[in-house]
Chains A and B, each alone.
Chain A
Amino acid sequence: MNNTELKKEILRISGVNVKKCMKCGKCSASCPAYDEMEFHPHQFASMIDNGEIEPLLRSDSLYRCLSCFACMERCPRGVEPAKLIEAVRLTAIRKQGANRMTADDVPQMLDDNTPGQLLVSAFRKYTK
């Protein structure tokens, strides 16, 4: 897919209107994973609007987002950056072989401190 199609696809999956963003940065100000992320919620909105999708698809930020939805809750314009990040993440893992986790990865992650449910949901989220 070229960038225009990627952008269309991401906007379609997320149902977000990025043009509503007024670039106030309240999403990134609310983000608890800010320091872990290369690209921050407000950058997702503006980069997707500009069609700069490839760097986002390659970025680890997709998997650093906690999906806590603080950015969606606080956004004064109803832009819903978490849905954008989710949509880019889906686009990435839907690509053949781009699974973030495979079934083979699971056994080595098992330990006494990690709740099993966490691995189940992580597996669902990061796998096609």
Chain B
Amino acid sequence: MQRIGVFVCWCGSNIAGTVDVHAVAEALKTESGVVFSTDYQYMCSQAGQDIIKNAIHEHSLTGIVVCSCSPRMHEATFRKTAAAAGLNPYMVEIANIREQCSWIHKDMLSGTEKAIILGKAAVAKVNLNAPLTPGQSTVTKRALVIGGGIAGIQTALDIADAGFPVDIVEKKPTIGGKMAQLDKTFPTLDCAACILTPKMVDAAQNENIRIYSYSEVTEVGGYVGNFDVTIKRKARYVKEDICTGCGLCTEKCPQKKVPNEFNLGMDNRRAIYIPFAQAVPKVATIDADYCTMLKTGKCGVCAKVCTAGAIDYNAKDEFVKEKYGAIVVATGYNPISMEKFDEFAYSQSKDVITSLEFERLTNAAGPTSGKLLRPSDGEHPHKIVFVQCVGSRCENCAEKGKEYCSKICCMYTAKHAMLIRDKYPDTDVYVFYIDVRTPGKAFDEFYRRAVEEYGVHYIKGMVGKVVPEGKKLLVQASDLINGKQLHIDADLVVLAAAIEPDKSARPLATMLTASMDTNDFFTEAHPKLRPVESPTAGVFLSGCCQGPKDIPETVSQASAAASKVIGLLVKDHLTGNPCIAQSNELMCNGCSSCERVCPYGAITYEEKEFRMPDRTTKLRRVASVNPAVCQGCGACTVACPSGAMDLNGFKNNQIMAEVDAICKM
């Protein structure tokens, strides 16, 4: 028989305002096994925890029930309290009488009644609780960073700096990501390449960092501290260790008509290419979709001109298997497709461009060498219209746009407008906005400078349509402040396209069993208190894969993720979760149902000898759970037809006891 203590928390007025806490404590006193029951203003405070500790000693308690907030909030706190008083921490149960009770009820009577029911259910469960001891596992002291943009680079540099080896897997031929494509950065207007490329070089030269460029993660197994990852190194047909990056092949390649993705297709590159001058690693890559030699077997110019002998037309994809203790996701973002926004004529006119395309047009290393020229005829535009929130903050256009604010557009548009007015004062710049959102250090000042010093015309209102007519783009828009409909004959229209997570994120999340929201952004373990960890143990989040972010925010989050990884890797052993599945071998019939539903691959089968009643032995196939891999999700216990599979801490009889306690009312 258990000796149970019940502790009802007021949570200030959070609970006590809608639940009669004295009545709850009083009602639970008479429950089976309860020997002590009390209430207190803040159970989680030091004084509250002392009440629990003293009661454990004075009444020789074997189990406790805390009626308080969600177990997500303070279960760990109260388990520690119990452990400090010598009680097994898994003898603690939480009845959530705040989120599930006081916060959703307005009426004291019904709130109290429900709180008592929840308390009784928890008491019924503790009566069947058994002490549990978590297992331990080792930690592989190496981290994996998936994505080599500024987020991935910063995370890798910080982890490497702490002395741990770290691998970056980047699907493109070079690291650098979106930041490498940008011209200047707000709000200080430093040149993006000038601050990014030194970091890229640092990453390449750091002896703790290994860069797998042109590679993708194809398989993830294992668990926190011991992930088994398969990395596909796509064939680049150039030997990375031999190529000197001289670039001769990229000049001589006769296939000149390949759209250059680095410049967003605004110019062409060769079939063998180095994405940009400061690429890391600076080695050439052959684009198999366009290379004449790979497609028809006739050419071979690059191999002839390569003095280092780095070209290898017979290269094949290679697969590398590696063990990691922690994984950081830094898969970044992309602008959404503008194809469906017919009203802005993006598909009809070359002079309607996205903001990222604009970055390339003003970049000194871009297709126009930094001269702002119209993509259609190469002329200097004199009237430029910027349209904000294209595809952001959409409610009804889920198939076209996104419901969220993309966060970075207000600031980069202010930057673009300012840069144009600075370089070309004869150009009129209009920015159509719904709201100008500038919550960031020195952000509003920056936007005001665009208006006050640079004379950018900010107009509150949205653009309704853009119609190409001759060399002009007729823009019809609202000016809500002046109550007018405007008609502007623009030379160039720039759309602030919403941003979305990279397409590789969804399959990656499946591989990692990491959760995502409906927009395919990775969800964090807690939106405020654990913002850089995924709910999946050992998986961390860095940069825009978690939500839209600008560079300063991305870098902060990248460093935060790195510090979390370092905190994990310095440990020699990890304490597991003892609430894991356990199979009763005598009842298991070896049907494999549990193995099929296990999302973690924690269940295997073994042939075991059993003694039969007639003293013979029989070989039977039974399930066995790997305690280090099992996450305690309980899927197997539901799937098991014979009831052999049970979850420690949430055993079937415990759940039924809770249900019974609730139904008795």
> Is B464 within 8 A of A31, CB to CB?
yes
* Known contacts A20-B395, A74-B343, A77-B395; is-contact A29 B401 (Cβ 8 Å): no
**Chain B residues within 8 Å of A75, by CB:** 396
> Is B464 within 8 A of A74, CB to CB?
yes
Task: Give the distance in Å from the alpha carbon of A10 to the alpha carbon of B394 in the complex.
Answer: 24
Closest to A70 in B: B464
| Contacts of B445-477 to chain A: CB distance below 8 A | 460-465, 476-477
Closest to A75 in B: B396
Task: Give the distance in Å from the alpha carbon of A75 to the alpha carbon of B620 in the complex.
Answer: 65
Interface flag for B242 (CB, 8 Å): no
> Is A22 within 8 A of B480, CB to CB?
no
Task: Give the distance in Å from the alpha carbon of A76 to the alpha carbon of B340 in the complex.
Answer: 13
Closest to B476 in A: A29
> Is B464 within 8 A of A30, CB to CB?
yes
Interface flag for A23 (CB, 8 Å): yes
Task: Give the distance in Å from the alpha carbon of A76 to the alpha carbon of B405 in the complex.
Answer: 12
> B181 → chain A, closest Cβ, in Å?
27
> Is A23 within 8 A of B464, CB to CB?
no
Interface flag for A34 (CB, 8 Å): yes
> Is B464 within 8 A of A28, CB to CB?
yes
> Is B485 within 8 A of A31, CB to CB?
yes
Task: Give the distance in Å from the alpha carbon of A110 to the alpha carbon of B26 in the complex.
Answer: 87
The residue that A25 contacts in the complex, of B395, B396, B462, with Cβ under 8 A, is B462
> A115 → chain B, closest Cβ, in Å?
27
Interface flag for B41 (CB, 8 Å): no
> Is A34 within 8 A of B462, CB to CB?
no
Task: Give the distance in Å from the alpha carbon of A20 to the alpha carbon of B395 in the complex.
Answer: 8
> A111 → chain B, closest Cβ, in Å?
31
> Is A30 within 8 A of B343, CB to CB?
yes
Interface flag for B624 (CB, 8 Å): no
**Chain A residues within 8 Å of B394, by CB:** 76-77
> Is A76 within 8 A of B464, CB to CB?
no
Task: Give the distance in Å from the alpha carbon of A30 to the alpha carbon of B478 in the complex.
Answer: 8
Closest to A71 in B: B464
> Is B343 within 8 A of A25, CB to CB?
no
Closest to B463 in A: A29
> Is B396 within 8 A of A26, CB to CB?
no
> Is A23 within 8 A of B485, CB to CB?
no
Interface flag for A78 (CB, 8 Å): yes
> B80 → chain A, closest Cβ, in Å?
46
> A128 → chain B, closest Cβ, in Å?
32
| Contacts of B334-375 to chain A: CB distance below 8 A | 343
> Is A28 within 8 A of B478, CB to CB?
yes
Convert B258-287 into 0s and 1s, putting 1 for each residue whose CB lies closer than 8 angstroms to a CB of A.
Answer: 000000000000000000000000000000
> Is B396 within 8 A of A29, CB to CB?
no
Interface flag for B393 (CB, 8 Å): yes
User: Could you list 14 examples of A-B contacts with CB < 8 Å?
Assistant: A20-B395, A25-B434, A25-B478, A26-B463, A26-B478, A29-B462, A29-B477, A29-B485, A42-B478, A42-B480, A74-B343, A76-B394, A77-B396, A78-B395
A-to-B contact residues, CB < 8 Å = 20, 22-31, 34-35, 40, 42, 70, 74-78
- The 10 lowest CB-CB distance pairs between A and B, nearest first, are A78-B396, A29-B464, A30-B464, A25-B478, A26-B462, A29-B478, A25-B461, A34-B485, A24-B434, A77-B395
- Give 20 A-B pairs besides A26-B463, A30-B343 with Cβ atoms closer than 8 angstroms: A24-B462, A25-B462, A25-B480, A26-B462, A26-B464, A27-B464, A28-B464, A29-B477, A29-B478, A29-B485, A30-B476, A74-B464, A74-B465, A75-B396, A76-B394, A76-B396, A76-B401, A76-B462, A77-B396, A78-B397
